[in-house]
Amino acid sequence: MTMKRIALGVVSAALLAGTALPALAQTLTVAVPGNDLATLDPHRASATFDKNVINWMFNGLVRTAPGQFQLDTIEPDIAESWETSEDGLVWTFTLRQDVLCHGDYGPLTASDVVYSLNRAASPETSSYSADYAAFETVEALDDHTVQITLSNPIPTVLGLLVPFNGGAIICEAAGTELGDGFGRNPVGTGPFAFVEYQSQQFVRLAANTEYFRGAPEIDEILFRYVASDSSRDLAFQSGEVDIVNGRFEQSWLDRMAGLPDTTVQVLGPYELHQLHLNMTQPPLDDIRVRQAIAHAIDRDQLVAFRGEMLTRPATSVIPSGYLGHEPQTLLEHDVERARELLAEAGYPDGIDLRTVQTTLPAMLTTMEVVQAQLAEAGIRLNFELVDHPTFHEQIRQDLSQVVYYGASRLPVADIFLTQFFDSDSIVQKPTAVTNFSHCDVADAEIEAARTEIDPERQAELWQEAQRKIVEAICAVPMYEMGQPYAWTNRLEFAVPQEGSLNLSPSINETTRLAD
Amino acid sequence: MLGFVLRRLGFAVITLFAVLTLVFFVIRILPGDPTLVILGDQASAQSIALLRERMGLDQPVWLQYLQFLGGALRGDWGTSLVSGRPVIQEVLNVLPHTLELTFVALVLGVVLGLPAGIWAAVNRNRIPDYVTRIVSLLGLSAPAFVSGIVLLLVFSIMLRWFPVISGGQGTTLLDRARDLALPAINLALIMAAYVTRVTRSSMLEVLSQDYVRTAMAKGAPARAVVWRHALRNCLIPVVTVVGLYLGILIGNSVLTEIVFNRPGLGKLIVGALNQRDYTMLQGMMVIYTLIVVLVNLLTDLVYGFIDPRVQYK
């Protein structure tokens, strides 16, 4: 039934267009370097290429402005307005009345929102349940009013309600009816609706002609998995692909920019790449050794290596542009000083360090440069090369003294600081997330900032936390890297594309594909 | 002959059981946790524990093994840890694409390779022989991903005859043929190189036999001697190589599948390994083993058709 209705929509749109022109459905083809999808359930999806598609199918109560990812651009989406209590604990949202679920699942009401947020908060159904721990109750006051009550203030409530991860709103009837199958048959409310999936091949979306902001200009999106770098670029060159997600290399951007009628763009949010140093294991338990490593790293050279357009030097232990980010004074590149520090620490002949390293090319090449930089200061970094799943398991078992990790999160300081530098998140603990360095120097500030209501005081706490982590050298920030994209100039966006939380361009009802 | 087939199938069951057991334990010894792959790097320890429990990964390995064996005996290969869909269904989705590609590549390879090999043999140490040997050596040495990209550059970008992305989704026969052409040629080139070299050396050996000299001496035309007398006798080694290579082709077409973006068994195996999809890997290894065993059996049976002296005991 779902497919039939969408197909009808497509056909009728094509017929309307066909009064003047031959009926040719407009298909936008996107190619990404993946093998296959894992899941299109937004509350579960963690792979970049899964989120890329989810981006075009779902709404949140609020959203970041199209083409933007910063939380200060938040504007209404399904909710047309909202108010909060004085203490910031009770949030009341008034919903639009014209929102329809894809297919035959009918109008979206407050009970769908309640279901969806509860689903996002449950560890049984969501990978992001921890983010919603402070959501004490979510209630429908009437068909179009939703009230969220928090157990304690949190840094961003609206940030958790944008269509990203747990914030994507799914329709209750579809969620309960499809159960585990939802990930292969997602039902949302967004400008494009799921039609079909062919394993290892593509996901096909069709325009949601009943979208509450108006029917999309583009009829269909074909999201293709093209694992081979060369074939993907050739397919773009031959015109079979309109948008291509590229390689993390300046040379790729340069080559694409040289093609006719092509726009090359690096989308945010930028991932922060840093070296996490295990502070509990000798010789890294000595701060002088960690300082020596920081002095040995040449950020500018790394940026030059990865590409000036794709990357920029890191400025703190959280990515720039995040709410609460404050540029820090990082140790300068100074090989002599690094050698002196090692000698002071009792290692005049240098040190040997062990790192478990993934064979993913974009990460391995960076680490080869890091290895060469450290070697100049007498720090011998020994690789243990493993495939990516093994890498992820072993770095969580303290098997790597130096962990190279690149990440972007919801752009608010708290989440990044909590996951990477709060002692609760230390790997191997029951509450483990991704604190590979065993850093615990800023616990007090991170915790206090989490519930601080006064934004100025909160910013001060986050600033203090960053300063302490930088000073203790739990991690050595290196560079920030965006998402490389190229698209045909036939594609016309109504607004400039700076990025999106789901790391794909914002293709919505206003996006056009010229003939 | 029926007895022979049945006995061989009996051995196949033992082979399958051994492969199944080996695969089951080896993939569990590999480091890497499927729950981490599925849930991503922000999942809480609680979510991970819940998922492990739901997938039955918290149980002792021997218990998992018994359950797996029990299921397998009933024909239930379980569901993919990642997609949640039945393993059999996932495999059957892509198997036709793999078989189609393999079959066409095989036929093309034999059609190209056999005459080339014979041509080289009858012109031994003359120009046709040198040309065939050099070309077939090139075919053997060029990796599939290099020859694939060259084919794409020439036929898809420069000449624009074929699509770059040959998804194998064409609905009409012509569309399917267009999708299949380049990947099949890419695989067939390697196949043809093997067949050429084996045919050449086997033919040379047969041509030096007494009965060939006798046929020549009694004045039979050279063409008839080669095609009627020698060809059939030189085919056994060729069939052996084709049979062996067919098994390799089905699993190893992964590079071709990736370059031309076709769905297939090879890509499925690589994907499942990257995601540590235990159940999927188990199911696929068994199916792959089954195919290899069947192809070997078929090869043995073909010997009998070619050479009536072959007896099945």
For residues B266 and B113, the model is more confident at B113
Domains and CATH numbers, chain A: 15-242+490-513 (3.40.190.10), 268-482 (3.10.105.10)
| Averaged confidence pLDDT in chain B | 86
Least confident of A182-186, A309-313, B81-85, B254-258: B81-85
pLDDT higher than 60, residue A11: no
Give residue B7's pLDDT: 86
Give residue A24's pLDDT: 60
**Which residue in A180, A228, A387, A410 has the most chain B C-beta atoms within 10 A of its own C-beta, making it the best mutation to test that interface?**
A228
Residues of A in contact with B258 (CB under 8 A): 227-228, 231
The set of residues, in sequence order, having a beta carbon less than 8 Å from that of A371 and lying 6+ positions away, is A381, A383
Determine whether the interchain pair B164/A432 forms a contact, defined as Cβ–Cβ distance below 8 Å: no
Name the closest residue on chain A to residue B153, using Cα atoms. Answer: A234
Backbone phi and psi for residue A22, each to the nearest 5 degrees, phi listed first: -60, 140
- Out of B40, B70, B86, pick the residue that ends a domain: B86
Query: pLDDT by residue (tens digit) across A120-145?
Result: 999 889 989 888 999 999 999 999 99
Give residue B9's pLDDT: 85
Determine whether the interchain pair B164/A231 forms a contact, defined as Cβ–Cβ distance below 8 Å: yes
Q: Residues 52..91 of B with a Cβ closer than 8 Å to A: which?
A: 82-85, 90
- Are B161 and B210 part of one and the same domain? yes
What DSSP line would sit under B172-223, residue for residue? SHHHHHHHHHHHHHHHHHHHHHHHHHHHHHHHHHHHTSHHHHHHHHTT--HH
Least confident of A267-276, A416-425, B274-283: B274-283
| Averaged confidence pLDDT in chain A | 92
Cβ of residue B267 closer than 8 Å to a chain A Cβ: yes
Residue B240, domain member (yes or no) = yes
Residues of A in contact with B94 (CB under 8 A): 199-200
- Are B240 and B105 part of one and the same domain? yes
pLDDT higher than 80, residue B68: yes
Cβ of residue B209 closer than 8 Å to a chain A Cβ: no
- Are B54 and B122 part of one and the same domain? no
Judge whether A124 and A118 are in contact, CB under 8 Å: no
pLDDT higher than 60, residue A372: yes
Judge whether B160 and B77 are in contact, CB under 8 Å: no
Give the mean model confidence (pLDDT) for residues A333-358: 95
Give residue B168's pLDDT: 58
Q: Which long-range contacts (CB under 8 A, 24 or more apart) does B122-126 make?
A: B122/B203, B122/B207, B122/B222, B122/B226, B124/B204
Give residue A23's pLDDT: 46
Give residue B166's pLDDT: 75
Please state, in angstroms and rounded to a whole number, the distance separating the CA atoms of residues B33 and B58: 12
Closest CA to B253 of B90, B87, B89, B99: B99
- Out of B61, B86, B111, pick the residue that ends a domain: B86
pLDDT higher than 50, residue B164: yes
- Are B45 and B142 part of one and the same domain? no
- Are B66 and B179 part of one and the same domain? no
- Are B226 and B289 part of one and the same domain? yes
pTM metric for this prediction: 0.87
Q: What is the ipTM of this complex?
A: 0.83
pLDDT higher than 50, residue A14: no
Rg, chain B, Cα only: 24
- Are B192 and B258 part of one and the same domain? yes
pLDDT higher than 90, residue A373: yes
* Burial class of residue B11 (count of CB atoms within 10 Å of its CB; 0-12, 13-18, 19+): exposed
Query: pLDDT by residue (tens digit) across B101-127?
Result: 988 999 999 999 999 999 999 898 999
Total structural domains within chain B: 2
Give the mean model confidence (pLDDT) for residues B189-194: 89
For residues B276 and A191, the model is more confident at A191
Name the closest residue on chain A to residue B265, using Cα atoms. Answer: A200
* Beta partners for residue A30, in sequence order: A223, A243
Residues of A in contact with B38 (CB under 8 A): 38-39, 44, 46
Question: Euclidean distance between the first and final Cα of chain A, in Å?
Answer: 32
Chain A nearest CA to B192, separation (Å): 24
Give residue B251's pLDDT: 62
Q: How confident is the model at residue A4 (pLDDT cuts 50, 70, 90)?
A: very low
Determine whether the interchain pair A46/B42 forms a contact, defined as Cβ–Cβ distance below 8 Å: yes
Q: Residues 84..143 of B with a Cβ closer than 8 Å to A: which?
A: 84-85, 90, 93-94
Give the mean model confidence (pLDDT) for residues A395-404: 95
pLDDT higher than 80, residue A13: no
- Are B49 and B191 part of one and the same domain? no
Closest CA to A380 of A352, A360, A354, A359: A352
Cβ of residue B42 closer than 8 Å to a chain A Cβ: yes
Give the mean model confidence (pLDDT) for residues A259-288: 95
Determine whether the interchain pair B274/A387 forms a contact, defined as Cβ–Cβ distance below 8 Å: yes
- Are B98 and B188 part of one and the same domain? yes
Judge whether A82 and A67 are in contact, CB under 8 Å: no
Could you list the residue range(s) of the whole structural domain that residue B238 is in? 88-306
Q: Which percentage of chain A shows pLDDT scores above 70?
A: 95
Cβ of residue B248 closer than 8 Å to a chain A Cβ: no
pLDDT higher than 80, residue B153: yes
**Which residue in A29, A200, A502 has the most chain B C-beta atoms within 10 A of its own C-beta, making it the best mutation to test that interface?**
A200
pLDDT higher than 80, residue B270: yes
Name the closest residue on chain A to residue B255, using Cα atoms. Answer: A228
**Most confident residue range from A112-121, B25-34, B86-95:** A112-121
Cβ of residue B150 closer than 8 Å to a chain A Cβ: no
- Are B76 and B180 part of one and the same domain? no
Q: Which long-range contacts (CB under 8 A, 24 or more apart) does B208-215 make?
A: B209/B233
Determine whether the interchain pair B45/A432 forms a contact, defined as Cβ–Cβ distance below 8 Å: yes
pLDDT higher than 50, residue A5: no
Select from B40, B259, B270 the Cβ nearest to the Cβ of A127. Answer: B40
For residues A442 and B77, the model is more confident at A442
Q: Residues 225..244 of B with a Cβ closer than 8 Å to A: which?
A: none
Give residue A344's pLDDT: 96
- Out of B30, B65, B86, pick the residue that ends a domain: B86
